[in-house]
């Protein structure tokens, strides 16, 4: 099935203002459009609501615990459910993105996770009382939310593979991760405000409505293939394809899967993502409760400290992507891609080890925010490296990579509650920091120049210096 979708292109650079050809041997210059960045902006908006819907429970569960009397272990089970569903759905979601294109898949996924978020508002109400108990029902709904959201980042990767050239991908991916970070930063304070004024159920309804609005906007204005969109000029198409990559990728075949199975860099990328998930789950699940219930910080400041982590991520994600692209232009592959994640993830882990030991809650929160920012500053490197390895399978392998990372986050969330009685909150948090250090060190072995697609590779050395002209 053809995955291209979009309105038919209206004219090209050789068509006159009234739709008539100016004549042989003559063409009217048409400036290059920048519509690819409109697509990136829409992906940023989707990433924003994506994180609103996944972070809201981190805050709301403290109030739900008071209503339903959840134990610590039950909270861990509920918080981990999303990650298990996310891990389970990523590879199928990536396959769907490769098979049907980002337009259809992201639209359907957004509608689905909007419904799942709205259904959480009904837990414990008259509609569900007599069905499953609240813990089981929340686990099921959060698992389904994870499955529905799992399509998102593999689909982002597939969209970037179509719409953005190689030396812009880390920057574009960083912008998308920044959108996600802003969603995470916005959510804790929003949820606290809604819960304190209306209730926790209303906070999930508000999240669902926001997701629905952004999804409908994507379905109205997006497309799979830049060549099929009327807002994209031929000049912009040439810019997108300027780095000798095919505008259309061939379907995956047995030979491609065999090369993927032999890719050492793919295995190492997934291993780094797994430990990345083990190191970063705290910011998505336990952080608000840690400051509210362990450090005895009030609700508003616990929300503020949680938001600071995500605000730091929103700042460092595009910065890390820009540095990663700049490093590729300066040093080529593989060091151009590996330098940023190697340094930033290791430093993040060290900050994560130090932060829980700091007695002053404000200073501790600041170091945690630094750890979160450094960790997320490397996020774009994972996706740009994955696309360097393969454009043909960016969806399915992006799903595999992100699924392994989500599995790490699920296991970390699940066992965190079990580690607290043994090591205390400080020791459990420091274990997460150690996992981040391991994730960063694995990048020493990742080589993005060894492409999986047949005949595809990226330069193993820096680009030539521009020729001077007089």
How much of the chain exceeds pLDDT 70, in percent?
87
- Phi, psi at residue 274, to the nearest 5°? -60, -50
pLDDT digits (tens, 9 = 90+) for 12-42: 444 443 444 444 444 444 555 688 889 999 9
CA 275 to chain CA mean position, Å: 16
- The lowest-confidence range among 52-61, 128-137, 343-352, 359-368 is 128-137
Mean pLDDT (whole number) for 354-383: 92
C-alpha–C-alpha distance, residues 179 and 155, integer Å: 15
Cβ atoms within 10 Å of 115's Cβ, excluding its own: 15
Mean pLDDT (whole number) for 210-230: 89
- The lowest-confidence range among 87-96, 274-283, 355-364 is 87-96
CB 118 within 8 A of CB 208: yes
- Residue 95 pLDDT class (50, 70, 90 cuts): confident
Q: What separation, in Å, do the N-terminal and C-terminal C-alpha atoms of the chain show?
A: 52
C-alpha–C-alpha distance, residues 408 and 413, integer Å: 9
C-alpha–C-alpha distance, residues 300 and 317, integer Å: 26
Name which of 364, 5, 416, 344 is nearest 177 in CA terms. Answer: 344
- Phi, psi at residue 67, to the nearest 5°? -75, -40
Tokens of 464: 């030539």
pLDDT at 11 over 80: no
Q: What average pLDDT is seen over the chain? A: 83
Name which of 242, 97, 64 is nearest 166 in CA terms. Answer: 242
Could you give the count of Cα atoms lying within 13 Å of 430 in the half-sphere of its Cβ? Answer: 11
Q: What is the DSSP letter of 151?
A: T
CB 422 within 8 A of CB 431: no
Mean pLDDT (whole number) for 134-154: 91
CB 65 within 8 A of CB 122: no
**Per-residue exposure over 211-228, b if at least 16 CB sit within 10 Å of its own CB, e if not:** bbebbeebeeebbbbbbb
> According to DSSP H, which parts of 198-298 are helical?
200-221, 234-240, 254-261, 264-284, 287-289
Mean pLDDT (whole number) for 2-7: 45
Which regions of 17-146 does DSSP assign to beta strands (E)?
A: none
CA 98 to chain CA mean position, Å: 17
Mean pLDDT (whole number) for 248-277: 86
37: Cβ contacts below 8 Å, ≥ 6 apart: 172
pLDDT digits (tens, 9 = 90+) for 148-173: 998 888 888 888 888 888 778 778 88
Which superfamily is assigned to 36-445 in CATH? MFS general substrate transporter like domains (1.20.1250.20)
DSSP 393-453: THHHHHHHHHHHHHHHHHHHHHHHHHHHHHHHHHHHHHHHHHHHHHHHHHGGG--TTS-SS
Q: What residue segments make up the domains of the chain, in order of their start?
A: 36-445
Residue with structure tokens 């609103």? 52
pLDDT digits (tens, 9 = 90+) for 256-266: 888 889 889 99
pLDDT at 463 over 80: no
CB 247 within 8 A of CB 408: no
> According to DSSP H, which parts of 298-360 are helical?
299-331, 335-354
Mean pLDDT (whole number) for 457-465: 46
- pTM, two decimal places: 0.72
Mean pLDDT (whole number) for 429-448: 94
Name which of 450, 469, 452, 468 is nearest 460 in CA terms. Answer: 450
pLDDT for position 16: 41
Mean pLDDT (whole number) for 365-392: 89
Mean pLDDT (whole number) for 238-251: 63
Give the C-alpha distances (Å, rounded to integers) separating 227 from 35, 128, 416, 444.
11, 48, 48, 38
């Amino acid at each position: 099935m053809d995955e291209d979708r979009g309105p038919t292109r209206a004219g090209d650079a050789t068509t006159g203002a009234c739709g008539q050809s100016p004549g042989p041997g003559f063409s009217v210059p048409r400036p290059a459009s920048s519509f690819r960045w409109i697509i990136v902006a829409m992906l940023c908006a989707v990433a924003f609501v994506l994180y609103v819907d996944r972070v809201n429970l981190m805050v709301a569960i403290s109030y739900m615990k008071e209503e339903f009397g959840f134990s610590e272990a039950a909270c861990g089970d509920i918080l981990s459910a999303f990650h298990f569903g996310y891990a389970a759905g990523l590879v199928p979601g990536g396959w769907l993105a490769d098979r049907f294109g980002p337009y259809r898949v992201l639209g359907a996924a957004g509608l689905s996770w909007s419904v799942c978020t709205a259904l959480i508002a009904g837990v414990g109400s008259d509609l569900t009382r007599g069905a499953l108990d609240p813990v089981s029902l929340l686990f099921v709904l959060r698992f389904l939310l994870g499955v529905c959201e799992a399509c998102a980042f593999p689909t982002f990767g597939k969209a970037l593979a179509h719409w953005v050239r190689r030396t812009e991908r880390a920057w574009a991916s960083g912008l998308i991760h920044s959108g996600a970070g802003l969603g995470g930063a916005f959510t804790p304070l929003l949820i606290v405000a809604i819960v304190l004024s209306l209730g926790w159920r209303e906070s999930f309804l508000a999240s669902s409505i926001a997701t629905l609005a952004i999804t409908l906007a994507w379905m109205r204005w997006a497309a799979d293939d830049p060549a099929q969109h009327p807002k994209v000029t031929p000049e912009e198409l040439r810019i997108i394809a300027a780095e000798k990559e095919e505008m259309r990728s061939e379907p995956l075949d047995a030979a491609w899967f065999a090369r993927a199975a032999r890719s050492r860099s793919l295995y190492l990328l997934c291993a780094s993502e797994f430990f990345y998930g083990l190191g970063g789950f705290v910011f998505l699940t336990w952080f608000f409760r840690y400051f509210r219930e362990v450090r005895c910080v009030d609700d508003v400041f616990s929300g503020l400290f949680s938001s600071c982590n995500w605000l730091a991520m929103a700042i460092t994600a595009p910065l890390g992507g820009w540095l990663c692209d700049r490093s590729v232009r300066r040093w080529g592959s593989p060091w151009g891609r590996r330098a940023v994640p190697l340094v930033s993830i290791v430093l993040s882990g060290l900050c994560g080890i130090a932060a829980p030991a700091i007695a002053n809650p404000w200073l501790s929160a600041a170091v945690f925010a630094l750890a979160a920012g450094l960790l997320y500053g490397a996020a774009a490197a994972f996706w740009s490296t994955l696309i360097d390895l393969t454009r043909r399978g960016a969806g399915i392998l992006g799903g595999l990579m992100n699924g392994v990372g989500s599995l790490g986050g699920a296991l970390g969330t699940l066992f965190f509650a079990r580690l607290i009685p043994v090591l205390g909150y400080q020791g459990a948090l420091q274990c997460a920091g150690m996992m981040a250090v391991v994730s960063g060190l694995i990048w020493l072995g990742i080589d993005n120049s060894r492409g999986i697609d047949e005949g595809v590779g990226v330069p193993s050395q820096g680009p030539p210096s521009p020729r001077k002209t007089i």
